[in-house]
């Protein structure tokens, strides 16, 4: 569970960056900080967390998967645009690995965590494939389709982004772009919706463990007793995650 706290606090921060970037693109003089947007994102997650089961969020997974492909296409196009049209005062692209061994090691583990979170989009299609017979064949189809979409999307984004910016690329890739404003806004919007969906997928196993002590299994999921129990569990969990995400250094 502790690992889940840290694992989900990073997307909290990424979502805050995405929401802040969207806000700044429409209102350049805004003074709203990333921490405020992280709290807003936490409130959105608290709302989605009130759905009783992960199956009730299947519509969100469809939107999330579409946004993954949309984000990859948009960021790849923007990377190619920026690679061919760098700012006049920008230094030459450097592909070396910066930092000492400690920084490199931390970067590797951080990247692995990001990859693991991104592939969360594939979980729901795999689960839902078991609801229809023949189970094994349907699960294989669901896994192959989901992983193909996600793998192609992330390879496109990674290769094009590193080619365009080298080791100076921003941890949040969209912040590196200087292309058309509408395209940058679209990439931020896709990223935000994708994070919302993945976040819920990783929250649900923890909810299930915690709800054992907070809910009455003899009553229905929409009973007043269980609605209150679910709200207490999700409010506690989301509050802790939001706090951890908000205290990350900028």
pLDDT score recorded for residue 74: 92
**pLDDT over 70 for what percent of the chain?**
85
Largest separation between any pair of C-alpha atoms in the chain: 67
pLDDT score recorded for residue 6: 45
Q: Tell me: pLDDT of 246 over 60.
A: yes
pLDDT score recorded for residue 5: 44
For residue 77, what are the domain limits?
2-246
Q: Tell me: pLDDT of 221 over 60.
A: yes
pLDDT band at 80 (very low <50, low <70, confident <90, very high): very high
pLDDT band at 227 (very low <50, low <70, confident <90, very high): confident
Give tens-digit pLDDT for 105-159. 877 777 776 666 655 555 555 555 555 677 677 777 777 777 777 778 778 888 8
The residue among 72 and 13 whose pLDDT is bigger is 72
pLDDT score recorded for residue 91: 84
* Structural domain count, the chain: 1
Q: Tell me: pLDDT of 78 over 90.
A: yes
C-alpha to C-alpha distance for 231 and 237, rounded to whole angstroms: 10
pLDDT band at 205 (very low <50, low <70, confident <90, very high): confident
pLDDT score recorded for residue 81: 93
Give tens-digit pLDDT for 11-51. 677 788 888 888 888 888 888 888 899 899 999 999 998 88
Mean per-residue pLDDT for 69-87?
Answer: 90
Sign of CA dihedral 196, 214, 6, 118: negative
Q: Tell me: pLDDT of 98 over 70.
A: yes
Average pLDDT, the chain: 79
**pLDDT over 90 for what percent of the chain?**
11
DSSP the chain: -HHHHHHHHHHHHHHHHHHHHHHHHH-TT----HHHHHHHHHHHHHHHTTSSSGGGGHHHHHHHHHHHHHHHHHHHHHHHHHHHS--TTPPPP--S--S-HHHHHHHHHHHHHHHHHHGGGGHHHHHHHTTSSSHHHHHHHHHHHHHHHHHHHHHHHHHHHHHHHGGG--SSGGGG--S-HHHHHHHHHHHHHHHHHHHHHHHHHHHHHHHHHHS-TTS-TTSHHHHHHHHHHHHHHHHHHHHHHHTS--
pLDDT score recorded for residue 1: 44
C-alpha to C-alpha distance for 62 and 130, rounded to whole angstroms: 17
pLDDT score recorded for residue 132: 63
Highest mean pLDDT among 19-28, 99-108, 217-226: 19-28
pLDDT score recorded for residue 82: 92
């Amino acid at each position: 569970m502790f690992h889940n706290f840290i694992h989900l606090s990073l997307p909290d921060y990424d979502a805050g960056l995405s929401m802040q970037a969207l806000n700044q693109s429409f209102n350049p003089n805004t003074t709203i900080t990333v921490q405020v947007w992280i709290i807003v994102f936490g409130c959105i997650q608290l709302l989605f967390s009130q759905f009783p089961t992960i199956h009730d969020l299947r519509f969100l997974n469809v939107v999330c998967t579409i946004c993954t492909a949309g984000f990859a296409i948009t960021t790849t196009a923007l990377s190619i645009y920026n690679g061919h049209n760098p700012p006049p005062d920008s230094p030459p692209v450097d592909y070396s690995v910066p930092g000492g061994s400690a920084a490199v090691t931390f970067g590797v583990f951080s990247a692995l965590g990001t990859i693991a979170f991104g592939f969360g989009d594939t979980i729901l299609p795999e689960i839902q494939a078991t609801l229809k017979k023949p189970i094994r064949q349907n699960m294989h189809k669901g896994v192959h389709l989901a992983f193909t979409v996600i793998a192609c999307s992330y390879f496109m984004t990674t290769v094009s982004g590193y080619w365009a910016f080298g080791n100076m690329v921003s941890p949040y890739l969209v912040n590196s772009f200087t292309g058309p404003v509408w395209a940058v806004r679209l990439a931020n919007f896709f990223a935000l919706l994708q994070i919302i969906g993945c976040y819920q997928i990783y929250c649900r196993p923890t909810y299930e463990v915690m709800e054992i002590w907070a809910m009455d299994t003899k009553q229905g999921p929409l009973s007043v007793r269980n609605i209150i129990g679910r709200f207490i569990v999700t409010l506690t969990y989301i509050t802790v995650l939001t706090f951890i995400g908000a205290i990350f250094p900028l």
